[in-house]
Chain A
Amino acid sequence: MATDAISTFRPDTVSLPLVARLHDWVTTVDHKRLGILYIVYALVFLIIGGIEAAIMRIQLIRPHNNFVSPDVFNRMFTMHGTTMIFFVVMPMLFGFANYLIPLMIGARDMAFPRLNAFSFWLTAFGGILLYFSFLGANGLYGAGNAPDVGWFAYAPLTSRTFSLGHSTDFWTFSLLVSGFGSIGTAINIIATVFCLRCPGMTLARMPLFAWLNLVMAVLVILAVSPLSAAQIMLAVDRYLGGHFFDTQAGGSAVIWMHFFWIFGHPEVYVLVIPAFAFVSEIVPVFSRKAIFGYPVMVAATVCIAFISMSVWAHHMFTVGMSANVNTFFVLSTMAIAVPTGIKIFNWLATMWGGKIHFKTPMLFCIGFLFQFLIAGLTGIMLSAAPFTWHLGNSYFVVAHFHYVIVGGILFATFGAFYYWFPKMSGKKYHEPLGKLHFWLFIIGFHLTFDFMHIPGLLGMPRRIYTYEPGRGWDTLNLIATIGVFFQAAAILVFVANLLWSYFHGDTAGSDPWDAWTLEWSISSPPPVYNFATIPEVRSRRPLWDRKHPEDPDWKYE
C-alpha cells in the first residue's frame, strides 16, 4: 500500500469537500491518520470519564449528600473505571505507538495497514457499545441501564439473578470487541518492529520508545487474551445457562477473580510501559544528553513485563488464599520494585549534569518521576498482605492506583502530547498555556489524590455513595473534591491550547526540539509516505550523527 504512495500528490494539501475529507478519514489505512483517530477518540472519552469522576466527587463533597442516587453512583464508578482503562488510556497509547513507531524505525507504514484500521474501528465500536447501554440496556423495568457491577465485575454480581436486564452484557461484549481490537494492534506493533526496521537499525539501536512499545505489545497479547476468554465464559453463563461462575452448581466465584486479575495486573504494565517510553524519549532531549544506561533500560523493561505476569493475586489478599500463596505473591510483587527502581535511577542519571530545558513536556516528565515514585512506594506498602487486610478496598487503594494512572501515566501522556504536537500538527503549541495547564493540573492532582489516602487510612471504603459525618472524613473529602475543579480547569486549558495552536500556532518546522530520532528528520506533519528515501542508521541517535558528522555516536557505541 504505502510504497504506491510515492508521488507528489498530497491529498491533505488539496482542498476537498467536507464529505470527501470525512470519507478519507473513515477509510484511511495510514498509520498517522489512524494514530490521530485513536488519540482524538481517547480525548473524547477522557472528557466523558472525567465528567463521571466529577459526578462521584460532587456526591462525596459532604456527608449525606443527595446529588445522585446510589444506583447512579454505582453506574458512575463502573463506567468511569471501564472507560478510563479501556477507552482512554489504551487507545491514547495505541495512538502514539501507531503514529510514532513507523516514523522512529524508518518505515513507511505499519506491517498490516488494513488490520490497523480494523483494530481501530473495533475499539471505537466497543466504546460506542458500552455507552449505548445508557439507551439500549433498559431491558427490564427497574433493572437499570448502564453497567453497575464495578470495573472488575466480580461474580456472582454478574449472574442473571443479581444483574437483571442487559447492562452486564453490554459491558462484556464491549470489552470483548475492544479486546480483539487491542490484540490486533499488538500483533501489528510486534510485526512492524521485527520486520520493517530501516537498514542499520538493529534491535540494540532502536529508540527506547519502539523497544518499550514492543514489550507492551507482547504483554497485550499475553494479558488481554485471558480477559477475552473470561468474557466468553461470562457470556456463556449469562446467555447459554453455563455454570463457570455459578456457585449454586459447584462453580467458583474466585476463579473469575483469578481470570480477571491475570489480565488486570499485566494491564497496569500495558498502560505504564508506554508512559515509560514517552519519558525515555523526552527526558534525554530536554536534558541535552543521551539516555543513561540504554541496555539496562531495555533489560529492566523486559524484566518488569516478565514479573508482572506472576503478581496478579496481590489483588486478592483479602479473599482468603493460603499462607503460601499469599507469601509468593507478596514476594513477587515486591520484586517488581527492583527493575522499576532501576528505571527511575536511569532517568535521574540522564538528567544529572545535563543542561535541562524546563519546557512543558519536561515539566510533565518531572511530575511523572515524583508521582510515580510515590505511587510505587504506596504500592510496596500494599504489597504486604497484612497491610492489605486492613486497607483492601479502601480509599487508600483508590488513591494509590490513581497516583499510578493519573500522576504517572496521564502526566507522561500530557508530556508526550506537548512533545509531539509540533510533529503531528506542524504547529508550535502555546508555551505559557502549556505551563498553566501543568501547574493547574499538578495542584488539582495533589489536592485530590494526596488527601484521598487519609480517609482510606481512617477506614473509608471505596464505592460508597455517602458516609456519616464526624468520622474525620468530611474535610478531606471536601478538599479532594475541590482538587477536581482545578483538574477540570487544567483540561479545559489543555484542549483550548490544542485547538488554538492547531489553527493559529506558529509553524514548527521539522525539528523544533533539536532531537535525535528519525521522526524529526522529515517535515511536520510528515508526508503520507513518511520517507522519500528509506534512511540508513548507524547508531541510536541518527540525527545526532547527521548534525555532528565530526563527532558521530557510532564511533562510541
Chain B
Amino acid sequence: MSTQPTVISDANIPWELPSRGRVGMFCLISAESAIFTIFVVAYLFYVGKSLTGPMPKDVLHAPIFFTICLLSSSLTIHLAIKALKRAKVGSFALWWFFTLALGATFLFGTAREWHHLIYDEGLIIQTNLFGTTYYSLVGLHAFHVTVGLLAITTVLLFALFGYVREEHAERVDVLALYWHFVDAVWVVVFTVVYVVGR
C-alpha cells in the first residue's frame, strides 16, 4: 500500500484550533442541559397538580446554607485552577480540597433534607406527583454532584501523591467546567423547587 505524502500546497498557513477537551465538555454540558430541561418542565407542569398531600409549601424549606456552600465551591475550584496555572501545586491542592469539602457538605444537606422528608413528613417518590417530580429532579442533580465529587476526589488523590503538575492545568480545567455547570444547574433547580414551586 502506498503511503506517499499528500502535501496539497506549500503555503504555510498559521493554524490554531480549540482544545478538544473544552469542546467535548461544552457538548456534554449541552446534552445534560437538555436532560435537565425536560425534568424542569415536568416539575413546573405538575406544580399544584398533586391529588393528595403533603404539598411543597408545607414541607419544603429553602436550604440557604447548603446552597451557599455549593455556589462558593465554584469560586474555590476557580482559585485552585488559577494556582495550578501558576505552578503553585500546594495552593492548588488546598483549594481543591476546599471544593471537595464544600461539595460534600452540600450533598450532606440533600441527604438530611431527604431523611427529614421521608421519616418526618412521610413523603416518598410514590406518595404523589410532588414526590415523584421532586425526588427525580433533586435526585438527578444530586447524582451529578456525586459524579463530580468522585472525579474531584480522584484528582485530589493524584495531587496528594504528586502527580498533578502545571501542564495538567488545562485538563483539570475541563473538570472545573463540569463543576461550574453542576452549580449553575442548582441555581435553576433551587429557583424552580424552592421559589416558584412553593
What residues of chain A have their CB less than 8 Å away from a CB belonging to chain B? 10, 13, 111-112, 183, 186-188, 190-192, 194-197, 199-200, 221-222, 224-226, 228-230, 232-233, 236-237, 240-244, 249-252, 255, 259, 262, 510, 518, 521-523, 527, 531-533, 535-538, 542-543, 545-546, 554
Closest residue of chain B to A521, judged by CB?
Answer: B6
Other-chain contact of A200, B2, B15, B35, B126 (Cβ < 8 Å): B15
How far, in angstroms, from A508 to B66 measured CA to CA in the complex? 66
What 1/0 mask marks residues of chain B from 124 to 145 whose CB sits below 8 Å from any chain A CB? 0110110011001000100000
Q: Across the interface, do B13 and A250 meet the contact criterion of CB distance under 8 Å?
A: no
Cβ contacts under 8 Å, B158 to chain A:
none
Closest residue of chain A to B39, judged by CB?
Answer: A229
Q: Across the interface, do B23 and A249 meet the contact criterion of CB distance under 8 Å?
A: no
21 A-B interface contacts by CB (under 8 A): A183-B31, A186-B27, A191-B24, A195-B19, A199-B13, A221-B30, A222-B34, A225-B31, A225-B35, A236-B136, A241-B126, A243-B129, A244-B133, A249-B51, A249-B128, A250-B129, A536-B11, A537-B8, A542-B8, A543-B8, A545-B8
CB distance from B13 to the nearest CB of A (A): 5
- Answer whether A228 and B11 are a contact pair too, CB < 8 Å, given A241-B126, A249-B51, A252-B45: no
Cβ contacts under 8 Å, A259 to chain B:
38, 42
Residues of chain B in range 82-141 having any CB-CB distance to chain A below 8 Å: 125-126, 128-129, 132-133, 136, 140
Q: Kindly list 5 other residue pairs between chains A and B, CB separation below 8 angstroms, not including A196-B17, A225-B34, A232-B136.
A: A229-B38, A236-B136, A250-B49, A262-B38, A523-B1
Q: Across the interface, do B17 and A533 meet the contact criterion of CB distance under 8 Å?
A: no
Cβ contacts under 8 Å, A200 to chain B:
8-9, 11, 13, 15
Q: Across the interface, do B8 and A523 meet the contact criterion of CB distance under 8 Å?
A: no
CB distance from B55 to the nearest CB of A (A): 12
- Answer whether A199 and B136 are a contact pair too, CB < 8 Å, given A221-B31, A537-B8, A545-B9: no
Cβ contacts under 8 Å, B30 to chain A:
221-222
Residues of chain B in range 42-75 having any CB-CB distance to chain A below 8 Å: 42, 45-46, 49-51
Cβ contacts under 8 Å, B7 to chain A:
533, 535-536
> Count of chain B residues with Cβ under 8 Å from any Cβ of A?
44
Cβ contacts under 8 Å, B50 to chain A:
250
- Is residue B154 contacting chain A, with contact meaning CB distance below 8 A? no
- Is residue B32 contacting chain A, with contact meaning CB distance below 8 A? yes
Other-chain contact of A229, B15, B34, B126 (Cβ < 8 Å): B34
Q: Across the interface, do B5 and A532 meet the contact criterion of CB distance under 8 Å?
A: yes
Closest residue of chain B to A227, judged by CB?
Answer: B38
Q: Across the interface, do B46 and A187 meet the contact criterion of CB distance under 8 Å?
A: no
- Is residue B146 contacting chain A, with contact meaning CB distance below 8 A? no
Cβ contacts under 8 Å, B49 to chain A:
250
Cβ contacts under 8 Å, A187 to chain B:
24, 27-28, 31
Q: Across the interface, do B6 and A197 meet the contact criterion of CB distance under 8 Å?
A: no
Max chain B C-beta neighbours (<10 A), residue from A186, A224, A225, A522: A225
CB distance from A107 to the nearest CB of B (A): 10
Q: Across the interface, do B13 and A111 meet the contact criterion of CB distance under 8 Å?
A: no
Other-chain contact of A536, B9, B27, B51 (Cβ < 8 Å): B9
Closest residue of chain B to A190, judged by CB?
Answer: B27
Q: Across the interface, do A112 and B8 meet the contact criterion of CB distance under 8 Å?
A: no
Other-chain contact of B38, A112, A226, A240, A532 (Cβ < 8 Å): A226
Closest residue of chain A to B132, judged by CB?
Answer: A242
How far, in angstroms, from A197 to B16 measured CA to CA in the complex? 10
- Answer whether A228 and B35 are a contact pair too, CB < 8 Å, given A195-B19, A533-B5, A537-B9: yes
- Answer whether A229 and B17 are a contact pair too, CB < 8 Å, given A249-B129, A536-B11: no
How far, in angstroms, from A243 to B129 measured CA to CA in the complex? 6
Cβ contacts under 8 Å, B28 to chain A:
187
Cβ contacts under 8 Å, B136 to chain A:
232-233, 236, 242, 244
Other-chain contact of B8, A225, A527, A536 (Cβ < 8 Å): A536
Cβ contacts under 8 Å, B4 to chain A:
532
How far, in angstroms, from A233 to B15 measured CA to CA in the complex? 46
Cβ contacts under 8 Å, B191 to chain A:
none
Max chain A C-beta neighbours (<10 A), residue from B8, B31, B132: B8
How far, in angstroms, from A530 to B140 measured CA to CA in the complex? 42
CB distance from A273 to the nearest CB of B (A): 17
Q: Across the interface, do A536 and B13 meet the contact criterion of CB distance under 8 Å?
A: yes
- Answer whether A196 and B35 are a contact pair too, CB < 8 Å, given A187-B28, A252-B45, A536-B11: no
Closest residue of chain A to B17, judged by CB?
Answer: A195
- Answer whether A191 and B20 are a contact pair too, CB < 8 Å, given A240-B126, A244-B132: yes
Q: Across the interface, do A111 and B20 meet the contact criterion of CB distance under 8 Å?
A: yes
Q: Across the interface, do B129 and A112 meet the contact criterion of CB distance under 8 Å?
A: no
Closest residue of chain A to B10, judged by CB?
Answer: A536
How far, in angstroms, from A60 to B26 measured CA to CA in the complex? 49
Q: Across the interface, do B51 and A546 meet the contact criterion of CB distance under 8 Å?
A: no
Other-chain contact of B42, A13, A197, A255, A532 (Cβ < 8 Å): A255
Cβ contacts under 8 Å, A533 to chain B:
5-7
Q: Across the interface, do B42 and A242 meet the contact criterion of CB distance under 8 Å?
A: no
CB distance from A285 to the nearest CB of B (A): 18
- Answer whether A538 and B11 are a contact pair too, CB < 8 Å, given A226-B37, A250-B46: yes
CB distance from B91 to the nearest CB of A (A): 30
Closest residue of chain B to A543, judged by CB?
Answer: B8
Cβ contacts under 8 Å, A255 to chain B:
42, 45
Max chain A C-beta neighbours (<10 A), residue from B9, B28, B42, B128: B9
Cβ contacts under 8 Å, A192 to chain B:
20
Cβ contacts under 8 Å, A536 to chain B:
7-11, 13
Top 8 closest A-B pairs, CB basis?
A: A225-B34, A229-B38, A241-B126, A533-B5, A242-B132, A195-B20, A199-B15, A187-B27
How far, in angstroms, from A241 to B132 measured CA to CA in the complex? 8
How far, in angstroms, from A535 to B140 measured CA to CA in the complex? 45
How far, in angstroms, from A224 to B19 measured CA to CA in the complex? 25
How far, in angstroms, from A64 to B82 measured CA to CA in the complex? 75
Cβ contacts under 8 Å, B39 to chain A:
229, 233
